[in-house]
Chains A and B, each alone.
Chain A
Amino acid sequence: MGILSSSVSISRYTVEKKKTEDQPDSVQEIVRNGLKKNAITGIEDDYEKISIGWIPYESPYDPDFEKFSFVFGEYFIFSLRIDKKKIPAKIIQKHTAVEITKRLKESDREFLSKNEKTDIKDQVIEHLMGRIPSTPDIYEIIWDYEQALLFFFTTQKAANEELETIFFKSFKQKLIRLFPFTLVETSPSFTDSERDLAANLSTIKFSR
Chain B
Amino acid sequence: MLDISISYDKYKFLGNEFLTWLWYVIETHINISELIDNKTETIVFETGNSIVLENSLGDDSTEKISIKGDDAGLEEGATALKKGAVVTDINLVMKIDENKFQFTIKGESMNITGLKTPSAGKIDKNDNIEGALLEKAYLCSSVFQIIDQLFIVFIKKRISQDWKNSELVKIRNWVKL
Contact = CB atoms under 8 A, between A and B. Distances in A.
A153 to B, nearest CB: 9
A12 B110 contact: yes
Contact of B12 (A73, A142, A180, A207): A180
Nearest to B18: A180
Q: Which 9 pairs of residues, A with B, have the shortest CB-CB distance?
A: A181-B11, A197-B159, A181-B7, A180-B14, A9-B113, A180-B15, A155-B111, A203-B13, A73-B134
Nearest to B144: A12
Interface string A143-173: 0100000010001000000000000000000
A4 B123 contact: yes
Contact of A206 (B107, B148, B171): B171
A26 interface: no
Given A3-B136, A8-B140, A180-B12, A207 B111 contact: no
B115 interface: yes
Main secondary structure of the interface of B (DSSP, over half): helix
Contacts of A205: 84
B133 A4 contact: yes
B165 to A, nearest CB: 13
A179 B8 contact: yes
Interface of B: 1-2, 4, 7-8, 10-15, 17-18, 20, 81-84, 86, 106-117, 120, 123, 129-130, 132-134, 136-137, 140-141, 144, 148, 151-152, 155-156, 158-159, 168, 171-172, 175-176
Contacts of B148: 183, 187
Interface of A: 3-4, 6-12, 57-58, 72-73, 75, 77, 142, 144, 151, 155, 176-185, 187, 189-190, 194, 197-198, 201-208
Contacts, number: 136
Contact of B155 (A75, A198, A203, A207): A198
Contacts of A11: 109, 111
10 contacts: A4-B123, A10-B113, A72-B133, A142-B137, A142-B140, A155-B109, A180-B12, A201-B11, A206-B17, A206-B175
Contacts of A178: 110
A205 B113 CA distance: 27
Given A9-B111, A12-B110, A184 B155 contact: yes
Nearest to B158: A201
A178 B147 CA distance: 12
Given A180-B12, A180-B15, A198 B111 contact: no
